[in-house]
A and B are shown apart, each in its own frame.
Chain A
């Protein structure tokens, strides 16, 4: 029954959407959804494509690792030290307000047309949100929990490690989830504008120049699929469900 419901909620709308699209493509000069799906499948089994996707994902992994370290580290400093927050808090907000793609020209100026520029774009595009969420998470820890912990002997680093950081964790995870989405966008912006590094961005611009719209849409579909998979499986299922089960939040 569960499988039936799942199919009804997830497969049915997609099936209807793609079928409707396919019918339209027979009547009007637009790309065919069936052919695009075929291309998606063909791509996924094409070693050349997989290696391009892998190099994009590799860049994303390096950038996101830096985002985690920098974002949480700096966020902790802002959350813990009011003086730092007073000076750098608005800077963090400004960083967060900046569209990721806006960093690409500076990245190219600094690093040239290579993957360092792309990684720089990811880091600058996604660190701000982690920083802000971490610092807000830490500042919003209920004072009552801190008082209770202090009367049980927790002070200084132990208080931070055993109470403040765990209490701030849901907010930090929210920040990381948004950062993944921001970073994924920044990655594409970087790859498209840098142009010369192998990866999904390069594939997109090549097929667009060739006018191969069906392949372009197939690539875009795969990009959405990968983004959704990481968000849905890693952030929502693996981490989110576990946090919700513990905290009892909906």
Chain B
């Protein structure tokens, strides 16, 4: 197993002094080459899960291991892509993509070769000299993805990378990511709150429950990629996930005293599957 989480609990102290388990007893295994999507209501700790694997946070209890070695801190074998591209504004596109290689002390030839390769992969060769503020949201995310891939990580950790993009751009980048995954066969752990996105991308979709964050269910999707959006199999899986998520969202709403918003008959769509029956 490439990544193993064993009984991982992460507890944060809130501002009022109360302690809260953001993640509770999470056990998870990720095999090499897997594309796993994590969905869940906001506040379920999906991002924290990534941070733990990235080594940006330490678990309160339990163990996180990558190739059997306990994670002690961040490392270039686990590069992260964030919702905001987090590009360095003082560097141009090429220099941003080159960043990790510069830190690692790669030779100029090595840097040149790898930067070219990944800039081409994300179709930004022509924009190598541009500065981040000159790029659109989608282009920024592509730079962020190239900047991560250039490190040749064992696992790519993606924290809602397309959530801030408009619908068309998001679709485009999803397709591009599938293309990149086919080319590189990278292991990808992709967090999103968008069920359609999760089913479009993931070989496996993990659904998380809220407060404390647990892995509630896993859904395997054995459909080749790129997937057709209108594929009835996908729609059925999406509906099952959405239905299950509704419970979680209701739970969160109740916690936040917003249960008046959730009505029993709120979503007739979920009661009867649009496409007949089970898988």
From known contacts A147-B82, A149-B99, infer whether A246 and B88 are also in contact, taking CB-CB under 8 Å: no
Find chain A residues with CB under 8 A from B58 CB.
Answer: none
Q: Quick one: CB contact mask for B124-156 with A, threshold 8 Å, 1 for yes?
A: 000000011110000000001001100100000
What is the CA–CA distance of A154 and B91 in the complex, to the nearest angstrom?
16
Count, chain B residues at interface, CB 8 A:
30
A153 touches B131 (CB 8 A): no
A169 to chain B, nearest CB (A): 7
Find chain A residues with CB under 8 A from B195 CB.
Answer: none
Q: Quick one: CB contact mask for A144-163 with B, threshold 8 Å, 1 for yes?
A: 11011111111100100011
Q: Given B75, B89, B103, which contacts A246 in the complex, CB threshold below 8 Å? A: B89
B103 touches A150 (CB 8 A): no
Find chain B residues with CB under 8 A from A247 CB.
Answer: 89-90, 131, 133
What is the CA–CA distance of A149 and B144 in the complex, to the nearest angstrom?
11
The residue on A at minimum CB distance from B80 is: A151
From known contacts A144-B84, A145-B88, A147-B80, infer whether A152 and B99 are also in contact, taking CB-CB under 8 Å: yes
What is the CA–CA distance of A144 and B55 in the complex, to the nearest angstrom?
14
Q: Quick one: CB contact mask for A119-149 with B, threshold 8 Å, 1 for yes?
A: 0000000000000000000000010110111
A248 touches B54 (CB 8 A): no
Find chain B residues with CB under 8 A from A163 CB.
Answer: 88
From known contacts A144-B84, A246-B89, infer whether A153 and B104 are also in contact, taking CB-CB under 8 Å: yes
B127 to chain A, nearest CB (A): 14
Kindly state whether residue A20 has any CB partner on chain B within 8 Å. Answer: no
B74 touches A155 (CB 8 A): yes
A248 touches B151 (CB 8 A): no
Kindly state whether residue A167 has any CB partner on chain B within 8 Å. Answer: yes
Chain A residues touching B, range: 20 to 34
What is the CA–CA distance of A95 and B80 in the complex, to the nearest angstrom?
42
Find chain B residues with CB under 8 A from A162 CB.
Answer: 99, 102-103
B54 touches A151 (CB 8 A): yes
Kindly state whether residue B28 has any CB partner on chain A within 8 Å. Answer: no
A151 touches B74 (CB 8 A): yes
Find chain A residues with CB under 8 A from B79 CB.
Answer: 151-152
Find chain B residues with CB under 8 A from A154 CB.
Answer: 99-100, 103
Kindly state whether residue B172 has any CB partner on chain A within 8 Å. Answer: no
B90 touches A153 (CB 8 A): no
A185 to chain B, nearest CB (A): 31
Kindly state whether residue A166 has any CB partner on chain B within 8 Å. Answer: yes
Find chain A residues with CB under 8 A from B75 CB.
Answer: 151, 153
The residue on B at minimum CB distance from A162 is: B103
Kindly state whether residue B243 has any CB partner on chain A within 8 Å. Answer: no
Find chain B residues with CB under 8 A from A149 CB.
Answer: 88, 99, 103
Q: Quick one: CB contact mask for A209-250 with B, threshold 8 Å, 1 for yes?
A: 000000000000000000000000000000000000111110
Kindly state whether residue B111 has any CB partner on chain A within 8 Å. Answer: no
The residue on A at minimum CB distance from B135 is: A248
Q: Quick one: CB contact mask for B153-194 with A, threshold 8 Å, 1 for yes?
A: 000010000000000000000000000000000000000000
What is the CA–CA distance of A149 and B86 in the complex, to the nearest angstrom?
9
From known contacts A151-B80, A152-B147, A152-B151, infer whether A145 and B90 are also in contact, taking CB-CB under 8 Å: no
What is the CA–CA distance of A239 and B173 in the complex, to the nearest angstrom?
37
B131 touches A144 (CB 8 A): no
The residue on B at minimum CB distance from A149 is: B99
Find chain A residues with CB under 8 A from B258 CB.
Answer: none
A147 touches B56 (CB 8 A): yes
- Chain B, range 73-87, C-beta contacts under 8 Å to A: 73-76, 78-80, 82, 84, 86
A170 to chain B, nearest CB (A): 9
A150 to chain B, nearest CB (A): 4
B231 to chain A, nearest CB (A): 34
B132 touches A248 (CB 8 A): yes
Q: Given A144, A158, A245, A248, which contacts B103 in the complex, CB threshold below 8 Å? A: A158
- Chain B, range 227-276, C-beta contacts under 8 Å to A: none
What is the CA–CA distance of A11 and B184 in the complex, to the nearest angstrom?
62
B90 touches A150 (CB 8 A): no
The residue on B at minimum CB distance from A165 is: B90
What is the CA–CA distance of A153 and B102 in the complex, to the nearest angstrom?
10
B240 to chain A, nearest CB (A): 33
What is the CA–CA distance of A248 and B92 in the complex, to the nearest angstrom?
11
A239 to chain B, nearest CB (A): 13
The residue on B at minimum CB distance from A169 is: B90
- Chain B, range 83-131, C-beta contacts under 8 Å to A: 84, 86, 88-90, 99-100, 102-104, 131
The 3 closest A-B pairs by CB, nearest first: A248-B133, A152-B100, A148-B86
15 pairs across A/B with beta carbons < 8 Å?
A142-B86, A147-B86, A151-B74, A151-B75, A151-B76, A151-B148, A151-B157, A153-B76, A153-B104, A155-B73, A166-B90, A245-B131, A248-B89, A248-B131, A248-B133
5 extra A-B contacts, CB within 8 A, seeds A149-B99, A153-B103, A158-B103: A148-B86, A150-B56, A152-B100, A247-B89, A248-B132
